[in-house]
A = this chain, B = another copy of it.
Amino acid sequence: MNRMPVAERREQLVAAALAVASREGIEGATVRAVAAEAGVSLGVVHYCFQDKDELLRAMAHAITVQNTTRVGEIPPGTPVEDALAIAIDSVWETIIANRGAQLLSYEVTTSSLRHSELGQVAVEQYRGSWAIAEQLFDAIGQISSVRWKMPTDELARIALALIDGYSLAWLVDGETEPAQRGLRGFARYVASLAEPIDPVEIPDELPVPADLPVAGE
């Protein structure tokens, strides 16, 4: 096989692991399978990674990075409802476009929760997703010139819980319509939690409506 520096080889192996695991499940990502997928002999894997665990951790990290890629841009001035719809649809479409990867993501999560070898992978995964979602709500707030009646971190958790739940259900029964209907309904609900603010000047202290206790984490 072609020679290449370790770093590059590692990337190739991680990609191979991701491919195998997406296709055949996390258990199918054996050292041999990954080596075969990369077109490399067995020893190479242990030359580039100390453990199989290290390889899997690298793969999990790649998934986390992949999951926390930003959603497409939303033009400024877009109404809240539309902005929310765009964002949620975008997330949902990337999910149903990569069934294997999505399923793998859950497998990695559960594995990480059982076996300490995978370390804090699951926690990192979720922290990253929550942070991204929160940033997204903040961004939409600015884009659409609205203020949320609920802290955005809480909004983020609701949104991700719902998406997680619906995508699991979709993995099981293959129906996309219920999820889309549900998510659209959620978008409408969230839109009702937005109140317009002056897009030009944003004063520091606006009275926050006390509908819900503002519990910052």
* A interface residues with partner B (beta carbon < 8 Å): 24-25, 27-28, 103, 106-107, 109-110, 113-115, 122-123, 125-126, 154, 157-158, 160-166, 168-169, 171-173, 177-179, 181-182, 185, 189, 212, 215, 217
Once the chains are docked, how many angstroms separate the CA of A107 from the CA of B103? 11
Q: Find chain B residues with CB under 8 A from A172 CB.
A: 109, 113, 122-123, 125-126
The answer to whether residues A169 and B181 also contact, given A107-B110, A113-B103, A114-B25 and a CB cut-off of 8 A, is no
Once the chains are docked, how many angstroms separate the CA of A194 from the CA of B113? 39
Q: Find chain B residues with CB under 8 A from A122 CB.
A: 172
Q: Is the CB of A154 within 8 A of B181?
A: yes
Q: Is the CB of A157 within 8 A of B171?
A: no
Dominant secondary structure at the A interface? helix
Q: Find chain B residues with CB under 8 A from A154 CB.
A: 178, 181-182
The answer to whether residues A169 and B157 also contact, given A107-B110, A110-B107, A113-B103 and a CB cut-off of 8 A, is yes
